[in-house]
């Protein structure tokens, strides 16, 4: 596909909130154009087309795929439809950016990625956290040793969701696939593939998990992820290494800030200090220690913290779109930032948390085939 000098023409598949958010970000990219949209309902496609000034609206996915002007498709449908739609698009040689969770099981993810390789056509999971410039800075700090050896990551992710929205039996609406996937992707990005995964899920009467916890074990590190559909959590992630700790502010998958704290590493053989922060005076020398302890200590700690702020307009959605455009123009089939192997590893972590390597997800009952 030759893209020289031409705008990159996107097709948006689905007309929900995230599809609109993505389209708004693509609209900010100079050499991209919002070309076409698909919805099973013509009126939804038409409304979306008009809102974003697009050239074409389709209520047939096959017709959209036959549109030669389309350079890539962004799939923003419920997770149960990702396998079918990604494979159809790839077979039609259309590069794919597919929303998270990439698939409802590692088996499905593997099948999609195999078709990407067979058709020599680009495919990427739309895990926008990996394209946030702020998260990118933290990823670099973790990999260049600035934080020391990473020993622990803790993540909380969840939003109180209206009950009606959880009754449609789309497995992608469960806390594991809908929310814990962000934590799993963050942990896998920083610490790689775990040696083992343990998961606990609480299921509702529709068979959907309302809450889950995941424990990921590494040879010398641990990670824990809690996710919920029933309560709004703090939606922060804390990455702790021997030389530093980073807190990604809420929501950690699109953070507005990151608080970085540099810690002094205890020398081997030295007695363990409870607050091993460099340069902070001994607190027990401060008068009325008991009264002021919390305030002073926190103030001192804050002064040791470096706050990295997101620049205005730096949404991961725009950067993931730019990454697709770069990769497709360079005739790549995958991105190094969100590689096929990483997508598969994350899907395997989620499978293992469910207690099986196989697809044991409930069959979608209310989704009609497109
Ligand atoms: N990256 C993020 O932060 C983020 C945020 C939110 C969601 N997501 C992901 O994005 C995807 C979409 O989420 P959403 O909340 O936007 O979903 P949604 O509102 O339930 O649905 C989005 C679209 O899917 C279409 N659809 C639903 N069932 C269909 C069917 N059986 N056949 C054909 N089309 C169907 C809907 O069409 P109609 O208009 O005809 O109903 C709508 O256009 C999910 O995978 C979700 O996890 C990602």
User: Which atom of ligand 1 lies at the shortest distance from residue 14's CA?
Assistant: 43
Which residues 6+ apart lie within 8 Å of 316 measured at CB? 128, 129, 130, 131, 132, 135, 253, 254
Q: Hey, is 12 helix, strand or coil?
A: strand
- State which of 99, 227, 251 you would mutate to test the pocket of ligand 1, scoring each by most atoms of that ligand within 8 A of its C-beta: 99
Element of type H or E holding 308 = strand 305-309
Ligand 1 midpoint to CA 14 (Å):
6
Residue 18 Cβ contacting ligand 1 at under 6 Å: yes
Atom of ligand 1 nearest to the CA of 41: 40
| Residue 282, ligand 1, Cβ within 6 A | no
Q: How far is the CA of 18 from the centre of ligand 1 (A)?
A: 8
CA angle in degrees (0–180, nearest 5) for 83-190-213: 65
If the chain, 370 residues long, is cut into consecutive pieces of 10 residues, what is the mean pLDDT of each piece? 76 97 96 98 98 98 98 97 98 98 97 98 98 96 97 98 66 93 98 97 88 97 97 98 96 96 70 53 56 63 80 89 98 98 98 68 46
pTM given for the model = 0.90
CATH T-level fold of 8-129+316-353: Rossmann fold (3.40.50)
Q: What are the sequence ranges of the domains in the chain?
A: 8-129+316-353, 131-309
**Cα 337 to chain center, whole Å?**
12
3-state secondary structure of 328: helix
8-state DSSP, 292: H
Q: What is d(CA 326, CA 343) in angstroms, rounded to the nearest whole number?
A: 19
Q: How far is the CA of 75 from the centre of ligand 1 (A)?
A: 9
Protein residue with its CA nearest to atom 5 in ligand 1 = 18
Residue appearing with tokens 């979608």:
364
User: Hey, what CATH topology would domain 131-309 get?
Assistant: Dihydrodipicolinate Reductase; domain 2 (3.30.360)
Residue given tokens 């962000």 in the structure block: 182
Ligand 1 pocket, 15 CB below 6 A?
Answer: yes
- The predicted pLDDT at position 288 comes to 62
Q: Exposed, middle or buried, 111 (CB in 10 Å: 0-12/13-18/19+)?
A: middle
């Amino acid at each position: 596909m030759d893209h020289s000098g031409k705008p990159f023409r996107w097709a948006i598949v689905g007309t929900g909130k995230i599809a609109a958010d993505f389209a708004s970000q693509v609209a900010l990219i100079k050499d991209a154009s919002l070309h076409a949209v698909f919805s099973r309902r013509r009126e939804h496609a038409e409304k979306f087309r008009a809102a974003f000034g697009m050239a074409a609206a389709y209520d047939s996915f096959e017709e959209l795929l036959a549109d030669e002007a389309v350079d890539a498709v962004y799939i923003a449908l419920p997770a149960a439809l990702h396998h079918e739609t990604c494979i159809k698009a790839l077979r039609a040689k259309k590069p794919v950016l597919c929303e998270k969770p990439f698939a409802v099981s590692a088996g499905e993810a593997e099948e999609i990625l195999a078709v990407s390789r067979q058709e020599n056509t680009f495919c990427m999971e739309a895990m926008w956290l990996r394209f946030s410039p702020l998260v990118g800075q933290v990823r670099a700090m973790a990999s260049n040793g600035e934080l020391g050896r990473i020993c622990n990551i803790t993540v909380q992710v969840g939003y109180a969701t209206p009950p009606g929205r959880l009754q449609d039996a789309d497995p992608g609406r469960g806390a594991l696939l809908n929310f814990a996937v962000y934590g799993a992707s963050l942990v896998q990005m920083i610490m790689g593939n775990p040696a083992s995964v343990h998961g606990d899920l609480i299921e509702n009467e529709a068979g959907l998990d309302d809450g889950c916890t995941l424990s990921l074990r590494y040879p010398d590190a641990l990670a824990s992820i809690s996710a919920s559909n029933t309560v709004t959590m703090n939606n922060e992630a804390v990455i702790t290494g021997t030389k530093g700790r980073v807190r990604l502010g809420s929501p950690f998958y699109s953070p507005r800030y990151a608080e970085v704290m540099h810690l002094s590493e205890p020398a081997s053989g030295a007695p363990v200090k409870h607050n091993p922060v460099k340069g902070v005076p001994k607190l027990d020398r401060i008068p009325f220690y008991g009264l002021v302890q919390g305030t002073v200590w926190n103030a001192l700690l804050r002064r040791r913290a470096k706050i990295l702020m997101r620049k205005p307009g730096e949404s991961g959605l725009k950067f993931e779109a730019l990454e697709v455009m770069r990769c497709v123009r360079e005739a790549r089939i995958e991105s190094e930032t969100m590689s096929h192997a990483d997508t598969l590893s994350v899907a395997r972590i989620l499978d293992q948390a469910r207690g099986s390597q196989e697809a044991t997800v409930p069959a979608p009952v209310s989704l009609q085939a497109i």
